Amino acid sequence: MSSVGIIGGGPGGLAVAHDLARAGHDITLFEAASDFGGLARSLELGGIRIERYYHFICADDAGYFRKLRELGIEHKLRWKPTRMGFFYQGTSYPFSSSLDLLRFGAISLEGRLRYGLSVLYCWQMDRWEHLDGVSAETWLVRMLGHETYRATWYPLLKVKFGQYHNEISAAWAWHRVHRIVRSRRTPLHPEVLGYIQGGTDALIAALVAELQQRNALLLPGMRVERIDVSGKRAVGIVTADGVERHFDHVVSTVPLPLLLGMIPNLPAPYREQLSRIEYIGVICLVFRLRHSLTESYWLNINDDHVPFNGCIEYTNLNEQATPDGSKIVYVPYYLPQSHEWFGYTDEQLVQECVAALRVINPRFSSDWIIGCAVSRDPFAQVICRTGFREQIPAHSTPVQNLYLMDSSQLYPSDRTMSGTFDRAQNVASLIVGATDTLWSG
């Protein structure tokens, strides 16, 4: 079997490595951070391990279920009915069921009915290609009416994508609804979401453990400086310490801007194609609180005094996440990498966030905070403009034996680990050359 060098130790890199190791290939995986997991990494917060960024599982996440079975940890999967809420201009509304929607006083009765019909439409529609060239704003206004769009979807797009909000593809917005509503028994029922007992930490640990059992060489804290290309073929990897290692195949699973810095001699048209794909970053605060902030797992927010579009109370999904009944709340800020908040200290960010949490729950005070951690990532979200389908790069590249895996390839899906595992399988299949050979291990 061939030797494969894999750049990036997030879920995608680990999954490609796992698939290829099962097929008997010789794997070396490079990860710049000191630990594995990427956006699925965990951290210590007051003596417990908790995910840096929130994660949940939906009923249609077939790729996730397949990977759990392969690792023998499907028994760790748990399901729970969850509540969604909507905080609109100072008032909190339940937003989980059809009855909640009918009672949602922020919009007219006609708007509520149109919103409900839009959910039904997204639930039954499986084809999305015709939405690729339409903006989410145009499509949503057509379905919901301007008033309902401004009250519901507009703040979610505007706060997340900023200046790009009116360029986002309708296909991306459709999939956001489609994936969640497919986690309901019917569109009229509340969603049922899943999680892994032990969090994604358990999944990452299982991947790492099985790779080690299969003699894969895992190199945390090892930054790749350059992909070595001879002629038109990738032949190896040079790390920051100057060591060059030769491989039959190279797989990049890092964000495209990082890849472009590693391989300066890419063909110009291909470099231009990859360079056109843009990202926004995220700053995510995770709080451990003495008391519950809201009754919702996911709270959508449209309020002039709150600078984020939602917060996630993870313990309303996974009550076992803390041993003492304390609550875990995530607050994500999606921002361009140039935003001044990326230069703020953790303390400054916490102060900004605490003031906003008091708007959501006036009883909230800093005394509730047991612990808080701040995580930052400059390439958290691909900006999926209209026509994005034509921009998606293939897994194979113009450089022979160099393969690409990036979150842009998940479109119209939005950074799901299930989709990541499916794409990892595709990349591994290309290297192996035959799917039946791939699963013989």
- CATH code, domain carrying 241: 3.50.50.60
Domain boundary among 189, 224, 239: 189
Same domain, 212 and 307: no
- CB atoms under 10 Å from CB of 163, counted, come to 9
Number of domains observed in the structure of the chain: 3
What local confidence, expressed as pLDDT, does residue 134 receive?
98
Same domain, 364 and 425: no
In a domain, 171, yes or no: yes
User: Are 395 and 404 spatial neighbours (Cβ–Cβ below 8 Å)?
Assistant: yes
Same domain, 116 and 149: yes
Same domain, 346 and 264: no
What are the residues facing 301 on neighbouring strands? Answer: 87
In a domain, 63, yes or no: no
Q: What confidence tens digit (pLDDT) does each residue in 245-260 have?
A: 999 999 999 999 999 9
In a domain, 305, yes or no: yes
Same domain, 178 and 238: no
Same domain, 408 and 259: yes
In a domain, 79, yes or no: no
User: Are 5 and 250 spatial neighbours (Cβ–Cβ below 8 Å)?
Assistant: yes
**Backbone dihedral angles phi then psi of residue 174, each to the nearest 5 degrees:** -60, -45
3-state secondary structure of 185: coil
Same domain, 372 and 398: no
Q: How far apart are CA 408 and CA 253, in angstroms?
A: 11
Q: Burial of 363 by CB count in 10 Å (0-12 exposed, 13-18 middle, 19+ buried)? A: exposed
In a domain, 224, yes or no: yes
> What global pTM score does this model have?
0.94
Which residues constitute the domain of residue 148? Answer: 97-189
Q: What confidence tens digit (pLDDT) does each residue in 107-120 have?
A: 999 999 999 999 99
Q: Burial of 362 by CB count in 10 Å (0-12 exposed, 13-18 middle, 19+ buried)? A: exposed
What local confidence, expressed as pLDDT, does residue 435 receive?
36
In a domain, 62, yes or no: no
Average pLDDT, the chain: 94
Same domain, 356 and 312: yes
- Which CATH number does the domain housing residue 376 bear? 3.90.660.20
In a domain, 377, yes or no: yes
In a domain, 149, yes or no: yes
Same domain, 370 and 427: no
Q: How far apart are CA 263 and CA 251, in angstroms?
A: 13
Rounded to the nearest 10°, the torsion over CA 301, 307, 308, 310 is -20
Portion of the chain with pLDDT greater than 90, in percent: 89
Q: How far apart are CA 169 and CA 325, in angstroms?
A: 41
What angle, 0 to 180 degrees and rounded to 10, lies between the N-to-C axes of helices 109-124 and 170-181? 80
- Which CATH number does the domain housing residue 173 bear? 1.10.3110
Q: How far apart are CA 376 and CA 280, in angstroms?
A: 11
Domain boundary among 140, 171, 189: 189
Compute the half-sphere exposure of residue 235: CA atoms within 13 Å on the CB side of its CA.
7
The length of the chain in residues reads: 441
- Residue type, position 6, single letter: I
Which residues lie closer than 8 Å to 423 by C-beta, 6 or more apart? 12, 395, 405, 409, 410
What local confidence, expressed as pLDDT, does residue 439 receive?
43
Tokens of 326: 């304390």
Residues of the chain with pLDDT under 50: 434-441
Q: How far apart are CA 21 and CA 392, in angstroms?
A: 27
Which residues lie closer than 8 Å to 96 by C-beta, 6 or more apart? 82, 83, 84, 85, 190, 191
Same domain, 299 and 432: no
- The per-residue DSSP string of 382-432 comes to E--BTTGGGGPPPSB-SSBTEEE--GGGGTTS-S-HHHHHHHHHHHHHHHH
- Residue type, position 29, single letter: L
Q: How far apart are CA 36 and CA 287, in angstroms?
A: 22
What local confidence, expressed as pLDDT, does residue 3 receive?
96
